[in-house]
Structure 1
Amino acid sequence: TVDEMRERLRAGMYILMREGSAAHDLKALLPGVTEGNSRRCMFCTDDRQPEDILESGHIDNHLRISVEMGIDPITAVQMATINAAECFKLNNVGAVAIGYEANFVIVDNLKDFEVREVYYKGNFVAKDGKAVFESVSEDISTVSGKLNVKPFGIERFELELKSDIARVMRLKAHSLLTEKVQRKIFRDKNGNYKHYPELDIIKLAVIERHNATGNIGLGLVENFKLQNGAIATTIAHDSHNIIVIGDNDSDMYSCVNELIKIGGGITMFSNGNNLGTLHLPIAGLMSDKPLPEINKKLKEMNTTAYEVLGVNSNLDPFMTLAFLALPVIPEIKLTDIGLFDVIQFKFTDISV
């Protein structure tokens, strides 16, 4: 919020104003920028989907939004350049000056910020969105390969509860924040969580994938609205374990096994059928394929997630899932060793 922003500025901190794919904070924070504090403010995107980069841009999108909301264009450019360089003590970039690296862009005007030319270390490298140099393929064999997951059976997805009241992670539209809520749930005769579609509560699991520890954290999520299937990814900030969400253990297990088989990426299953998989061979986080190709595949998978699995249209299916394991964003998140209460900053039991 603007009040939180001002509090941090008074404490001498820098402010990163984020406009990503899952979190949209820029417009809410820009009213807090003043002539007196603007040099402590800067832009960031955090995670941004290929489609958003191709259609709306990156930091250039922040510039357009800022000017539209009344920020002086020069102030906006400072927040996109020199402010960030000074914050991170990058003393030879962020400005066009003697002794600085000649990294700069030429734009058509200070309203639309359409980039016409790009220069890197004095070299002309791009014109009107097209590179003017030949790209070189790199060997990715040292950062690709199998996931280091300790083998486990589907029974590890059974969630034993001590009571019919559980702590549930409720998702918020267009936000990385979650709410910690208590909900009445159902258990089977063995005391394990039993899914009922009417409750809009589904299971979440985080599986450790780096050191074969065998750790698997289990939790419950509300407002994702997925039905008859599961989604999993090896992008799970910041530890990047496997994270999988679903309304049945079978499809969740199929998703995890698919990711283990291909060495990382994003996948979806329904009734045992693979609805789509994006292979991310570089550490299970990135692809070596061209951006338009990845964008096309992701758009197809997004459509499937919404139209076939019924995912909440106010959420980005894959980006939202990737942040549910990040135990520094309030109020509650899930790690491979359990449910974490960010406000109390301690692990907590699912059962109330």
Structure 2
Amino acid sequence: MFAAKSWLCTDNISIERLLKMGHMDWIISLCAEMGIHPIKAIKMATYNTAKSYHMDHLIGSLTPGRFADIVLTDSLSKINPLYVFKDGELIAKDKKMVKNTEIDYSAMVTKGIPGLDDLAPEQLDIEPLEISEDGTKAKVYLFDVYGRGHAKFYQEVWVPVKDGKIVPEYEGETYSRLSVIRRYADGKRHVVNGLFKGVFVERGAVATSWPAPIPYFVVVGQESDEMAYCVKEADKYSGACIVTESYANKSVMPIEIYGMMTNMTVDELTSSASAIDATLEELGNRNEGEPVVNKLLSLFISLHRFRFME
């Protein structure tokens, strides 16, 4: 049973999913499908949430004196937004925009403060957690993007060693390498290296950043030199997702509002996220499901939870 003051929220939803499935309307419909009374689910997404932030005197209900966008639907158990009103004007009808609503976020754009000037490629080499007695195998971390905070998010696995180097293969499958890098270091920089399951990059590298609770980068690739170059390019922005090959930028998606949000229209953001995937595909990326940008950003949730960021 949900308590009377329960509320709903969402996080880390890709632009593609927003366009195809919706946002809080989708969450409300999902709650109704799970057996929660539709009115209660709507209240959890509106009034209860506003009240939890002590803002119910401003938002959260269709009440005189409050601010409110209005959605008209033909069903409460499965929200189907037929009409959407913003500031008293009809802006969408039958899931199509009638009027574009533009908000200027340019004043919130922040400049990057680089922190990786002293990062050396060899810091991204995988250091074995353990070496077998005969020196033919090494124990390393294997991260799984689909773990999403669960116990299988990372494992310690044995992989081959050849000529003193880690061979990124496990149970007959070849993996990319992943490095987790603290952006700003006072003394020794915190770096965690391992193998990565979920995004495979044959050539080049892809890196992205996350600013909270502590600024970190993740970079995926095969070679330390390319990975170091890629993450240093991302370091030039307050936030970004960047694909590189042969020390050249191939695709860039700036995340320039405090390193957490993009200053783009929906069309621009969709195009930019698709360009990241398309560029990686050209470089031999094998990716299924969500866009790579969203997968990499999701990593930070689990990395923090399992204390790989400190």
Q: TM-score range by the shorter chain?
A: 0.7 to 0.9
| SS of equivalent to 1:256 | helix
Please, which of 55, 59, 72 is the counterpart of residue 107 of structure 1? 72
**Structure 2 match to 1:301:** 276
Q: 2:207 — aligned with what?
A: 232
C-alpha contact (below 8 Å) 2:139/2:156 kept by paired residues:
yes
1:185 corresponds to 2:168: no
Instruction: String of CA shifts for 1:177-202, please: whole Å, max 9, x gaps.
Output: 35242311234555x53434844343
2:53 paired residue number: 88
Shift in Å, 1:157: 1.4
Amino acid across the alignment from 1:127: I
Could you tell me which of 217, 227, 230 is aligned with 1:255?
230
Q: 2:141 matched to 1:168? A: yes
Whole-Å separation in 2 of the counterparts to 1:165 and 1:40: 51
Matched residue SS, 1:43 = coil
Q: CA deviation at 1:168?
A: 2.3
- Kindly provide the amino acid, as one letter, of the partner of residue 195 in structure 2: V
In structure 2, relative to structure 1, the CA distance for the partners of 1:59 and 1:237 (3 Å cut) is same
Query: Distance in 1 between the 2:195 and 2:168 partners?
Result: 11
Find 1:217's aligned residue among 191, 211, 220. Answer: 191
Please give the TM-score of this superposition, normalised by the length of structure 2.
0.78
Q: Does 1:48 align with 2:19?
A: no
Separation (CA, whole Å) in 1 of partners of 2:173 and 2:14: 30
RMSD value over aligned CA atoms?
A: 3.3
**Unmatched 5+ stretches in structure 2:** 132-136
**Aligned residue for 1:72?**
37
Q: Is the 8 A contact 2:47 2:56 kept in 1?
A: no
Indicate whether 1:155 and 2:122 are aligned: yes
Q: What is the aligned partner in structure 2 of residue 139 from structure 1?
A: 107
Amino acid at match of 1:313: E
Q: Which residue of structure 1 aligns with residue 134 of structure 2?
A: none
| Alpha-carbon distance in 2 for matches of 1:69, 1:325 | 29
CA 1:308 to 1:71, structure 2 compared with 1: closer, same or farther past 3 Å?
farther
State the distance in 2 between where 1:42 and 1:169 align: 35
Deviation per CA, 1:99-120: give whole Å up to 9, x if none. Answer: x62324131323333062334x
Task: Assess, with a 3 A threshold, how the Cα gap between structure 1 residues 103 and 213 changes in structure 2: closer, same or farther.
Answer: farther
1:273-312 equivalence runs, <5 A = 274-305=249-280, 308-312=283-287
Aligned counterpart, 1:207: 181
TM (norm. structure 1) is 0.70
Partner letter of residue 85 of structure 2?
V
Code of the aligned partner of 2:48: N
Quote the offset at 1:77 in angstroms. Answer: 1.0
Gapped runs of 5+ residues in structure 1?
A: 1-33, 338-352
CA 1:223–1:114: 2 relative to 1, 3 Å = same
> Residues 177 and 315 (structure 1 numbering): CA distance in 2 closer, same or farther, change over 3 Å?
farther
CA distance in 2, matches of 1:208, 1:133: 38
Residue 292 of structure 1 and its aligned partner are, at CA, apart by: 1.2
Residue 301 of structure 1 deviates from its aligned partner by: 1.8
Task: Give % identity.
Answer: 18
Query: How far apart are the structure 1 equivalents of 2:199 and 2:19?
Result: 28
Q: Counterparts of 1:283 and 1:134 in 2: how far apart (Å)? A: 20
Q: Which amino acid aligns with 2:308?
A: L
Shift of 1:266: 0.5
